[in-house]
């Protein structure tokens, strides 16, 4: 019996790894694309990088909404895969796009009309003010278009076509970099090339995404997309917690910079460098959580609730193996990593100091992030948000106190390290939620037919009710 469980766990981990591998590559490509674009913008004039940096916190609002709706689409399509209902994918995708048009248009109007007010809020100098207003308005319009490729890629991943989603990401990234290099640096168009390149990639990426959906058999000629109320249920139970988590993380980053501010620019720069490294380090956790959730949602859609616990264990065990390696490499390679990320000696030293204290705890924090991502994707978003608020809020409050007592930034670093270990409770919370899904399905199966017809939720609503 023990041998069968081990073999089953190995098969589950292999299935998750196969799905996660192209997703990890896609995330890394997206991260590198951002770095390359920043490097090119830095060569487009004195105001270019400054103006883009001011846009980033405002652009993160679009990113949060984009991620919330994209994940909602992925979850809905995973459930459709489990039901063996490819005909549901296109209507779900189109209806989610309708939601985005309403929300995205509102954001675009807000940022476009309020651009001069944001310039005053950020105290943008007169020399860069006009350029900032122009950039904010055009990038907000372009951001409205950029949802198409992300939505198509999410639909493909949710139905199990992760490689096709990767192809879409690779092509979009390559084309955007090439266009910015040609228009921005080659023709001297400068930062005005960014919205042009982004708009072209958005339109072309959406067309390519729809073509891939058709090729995968998820969009049939003449297929209609009537409105489905289930779309809003997915947004409520999955999308809102995902967006809330991104907002919490943004506030958390700003709060930690505030805590470290008194220790000087080198410390803040070092922490920002370490945070950039950490963003890359935790990426596999987010992808593993997403891949595990895709499989669990496919099983929910198929009604195979008895497999949920085994799939959850496989995902967590795989993440422990992956992050044991990542933690060791980060700890022993912290000096080299910090020096590669920044040429400033003091900032590199501060970044290495942070990674030296926190690095080994990634062995626990990685699986924790897998569990939290999983919770968000299977209907346990409220629990994930509560756990995130406790974790991030605790780090700020306790870290501020520790810094005051120790008169050293290391007080904050040790707070984060200890908190990473204590956050292992999220593994228990996620396991309990999975067990609740299984128990709810068993009760529904044992209920009389009349009660089941009246009361039993469908598979996608079961997770929402279990919250």
Domain boundaries, the chain: 42-228, 240-466
Can you say how many angstroms the Cα of residue 402 is from the centroid of all Cα atoms in its chain? 30
Residue 217 region, left (φ>0) first, then alpha (ψ -120 to 50), else beta?
left
Model pLDDT for residues 288-331, shown as the tens digit of each residue: 999 999 999 999 888 888 889 999 999 999 999 999 999 999 99
Give the angle subtended at the CA of 170 by the CAs of 164 and 173, to the nearest 5°. Answer: 140
CA distance 309 to 437: 10
* Cβ pair 199, 180 in contact under 8 A: no
Nearest by Cα to 399 from 274, 260, 278: 260
pLDDT score of 445? 67
CA distance 304 to 96: 27
SS3 398: helix
- Residue 320 pLDDT: 95
Spatial separation of the C-alpha atoms in residues 71 and 235, rounded to whole Å: 9
Q: Residue length, the chain?
A: 467
Sites in the chain below the pLDDT cut of 50: 450-467
The rounded distance, in Å, linking the Cα atoms of 177 and 139 is: 16
The pLDDT of residue 1 is 52
Token pair 């409105």 is found at 227
Other beta carbons less than 10 A from residue 200's beta carbon: 16
Residue whose pair of structure tokens reads 């409770």 in the numeric block? 425
Identify the pLDDT of residue 339: 85
Distance CA 394, CA 181 (A): 43
The per-residue pLDDT for range 53-87, each reduced to its tens digit, is 677 777 777 888 888 888 899 998 898 888 888 88
> Are the C-beta atoms of residues 146 and 202 closer than 8 Å to each other?
yes
Q: How far is it, in rounded angstroms, from Cα 185 to Cα 122?
A: 28
Question: 234-255 b/e with 16+ CB inside 10 Å = b?
Answer: bbebbbbbbbbbbebeeebbeb
DSSP string covering 249-269: HHHHHHHHHHHHGGG-HHHHH
Tokens describing residue 412 = 């904050």
pLDDT tens-place string over residues 221-270: 777 877 877 888 888 888 888 888 888 887 887 788 788 888 887 788 78
Positive or negative, the CA dihedral 88, 91, 97, 103 is negative
Q: CA–CA separation, 31 vs 12, rounded Å?
A: 28
Contact 80, 159 (CB under 8 A): yes
């Amino acid at each position: 019996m023990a041998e069968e469980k081990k073999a089953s766990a190995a098969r589950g981990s292999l299935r998750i790894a196969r799905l996660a591998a192209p997703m990890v590559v896609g995330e890394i490509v997206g991260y590198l694309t951002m770095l390359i674009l920043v490097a090119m913008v830095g060569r487009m004039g004195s105001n270019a990088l400054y103006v883009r940096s001011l846009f980033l916190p405002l652009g993160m609002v679009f990113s949060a909404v984009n991620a919330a709706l994209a994940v909602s689409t992925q979850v809905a399509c995973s459930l459709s895969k489990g039901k063996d209902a490819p005909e549901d994918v296109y209507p779900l995708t189109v209806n989610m796009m309708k939601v985005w048009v309403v929300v995205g248009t509102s954001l675009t109007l807000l940022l476009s009309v309020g651009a001069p007010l944001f310039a005053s809020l950020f105290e943008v100098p007169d020399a860069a003010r006009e350029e900032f207003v122009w950039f904010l308005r055009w990038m907000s319009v372009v951001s409205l278009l950029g949802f198409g490729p992300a939505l198509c890629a999410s639909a493909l991943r949710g139905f199990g076509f992760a490689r096709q989603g990767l192809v879409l990401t690779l092509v979009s990234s390559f084309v955007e970099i090439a266009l910015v290099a040609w228009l921005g640096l080659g023709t001297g168009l400068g930062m005005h090339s960014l919205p042009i390149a982004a708009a072209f990639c958005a339109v072309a990426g959406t067309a390519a995404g729809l073509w891939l959906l058709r090729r995968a058999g998820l969009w049939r000629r003449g297929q209609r997309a009537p409105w489905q109320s289930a779309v809003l249920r997915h947004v409520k139970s999955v999308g809102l917690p995902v967006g809330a988590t991104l907002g919490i993380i943004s506030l958390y980053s700003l709060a930690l910079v505030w805590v470290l501010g008194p220790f000087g620019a080198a410390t803040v720069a070092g922490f920002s460098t370490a945070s950039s490294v950490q963003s890359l380090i935790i990426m596999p956790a987010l992808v593993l959580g997403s891949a595990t959730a895709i499989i669990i949602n496919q099983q929910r859609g198929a009604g195979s609730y008895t497999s949920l616990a085994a799939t959850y264990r496989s995902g967590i065990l795989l993440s422990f193996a992956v992050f044991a390696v990542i933690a060791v490499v980060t700890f022993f390679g912290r000096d080299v990593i910090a020096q590669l990320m920044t040429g400033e000696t003091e900032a590199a030293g501060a970044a290495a100091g942070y990674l030296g204290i926190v690095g080994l705890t990634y062995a626990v924090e990685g699986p924790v992030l897998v569990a939290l991502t999983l919770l968000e994707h299977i209907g346990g978003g409220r629990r994930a948000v509560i756990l995130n608020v406790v974790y991030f809020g605790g780090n700020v409050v306790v870290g501020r106190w520790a810094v005051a007592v120790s008169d050293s930034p290391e007080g904050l670093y040790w707070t984060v390290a200890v908190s990473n270990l204590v956050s292992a409770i999220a593994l228990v919370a996620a396991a309990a939620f999975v067990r609740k899904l299984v128990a709810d399905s068993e009760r529904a199966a044992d209920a009389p037919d009349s009660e089941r017809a009246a009361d039993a939720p469908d598979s996608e609503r079961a997770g929402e009710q279990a919250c």
